[in-house]
Structure 1
Amino acid sequence: MNYRMIDFPVHGDNRGKLVALEGGVDLPFEIKRMYYMFDTLPNESRGFHAHTKLEQVIIAMDGACRFVLDDGEKRETVLLNRPDVGLYIGPGMWREMHDFSYGCKLVVLASEHYDEKEYIRNYDEFLKAIGKDGRSE
């Protein structure tokens, strides 16, 4: 599975905490795009796509959400709920986001500029693109 959790170095004292991230140093790629999600209601789900070459690191700045990650053979669930831990998702991974807490805010750091042609938004097309025809039992 082409994902992993990344613990970020936390700096701080009794005044508060700070996490500084540098592309190619703290992240496995140079950052070309950053966006954030907020006001997603708990009963809504997002994602339902994969990328052909894009890499992402996703950080829950506030609140929590559950990710379902799928490589065409296995599905795994990851809870993202800390601002000092990022979820790295590499190319060829189907992703879904569920169970947003009220007030959840996610920041996404991406390795590429936005390109709609780079998205795979249909699960069957995703399986064909990665050369799989279904999950192993």
Structure 2
Amino acid sequence: MTTNADIQLIEIPKIQDRRGNLSVIEGSTIPFVSKRVYYLYDVPSGSRRGGHAHKEQHELLIALSGSFDVVLKDGKSIKTETLNKPNLGLLIVNGIWRELQNFSSGAVCLVLASDEFNENDYIREYKEFKLFKNR
């Protein structure tokens, strides 16, 4: 069963020159092939996103602009990571509850997901998540 210890920050290669920075995510950058990409933006002050876990899917979250906090729960411990650099991604494995909060003005969260959308892969109630972790 996965725990918060399985979550990791992944440095995305950054190429710097006088024209600006370029970061690239290729096959060896993350441990899965991305099958879905989406992004969150214009999140109102005080709003929260996420509030779910995945049974199988893995995700990489990147703060392309601004910052936000990711609260991670594995059923036993709680960990908070602040994302605020576009060349640093947070790899969230399956079986981890996540909540995104404290979005700065202009924050953009890019998500690379290991699978296409499948409602059956979501655990949307924390009580159900606790049962899933204790099976």
Say whether residues 1:96 and 2:84 are aligned partners. no
Shift in Å, 1:9 = 1.0
Q: Deviations over 1:109-134 (max 9, x none)?
A: 000000011000000100111117xx
Aligned to 2:134: 131
Aligned residue-pair number: 131
Aligned to 1:135: none
Contact 1:41–1:101 (Cα < 8 Å) also in 2: no
Say whether residues 1:52 and 2:51 are aligned partners. no
Shift in Å, 1:22 = 1.3
Superposition map of 1:1-137 within 5 A = 1=4, 2-23=6-27, 25-131=28-134
Q: Deviations over 1:65-115 (max 9, x none)?
A: 011000000001100100000000000000001100011001000000000
Structure 2 CA distance for aligned equivalents of residues 27 and 7 of structure 1: 10
- The amino acid across from 1:55 in the alignment is H
- The amino acid across from 1:111 in the alignment is S
Alpha-carbon RMSD across the aligned residues, in angstroms, is 0.9
Q: What TM-score, normalized by structure 1, do the two folds share?
A: 0.93
Ranges in structure 2 where 5+ consecutive residues have no aligned partner: none
Q: What TM-score, normalized by structure 2, do the two folds share?
A: 0.94
- The amino acid across from 2:83 in the alignment is L
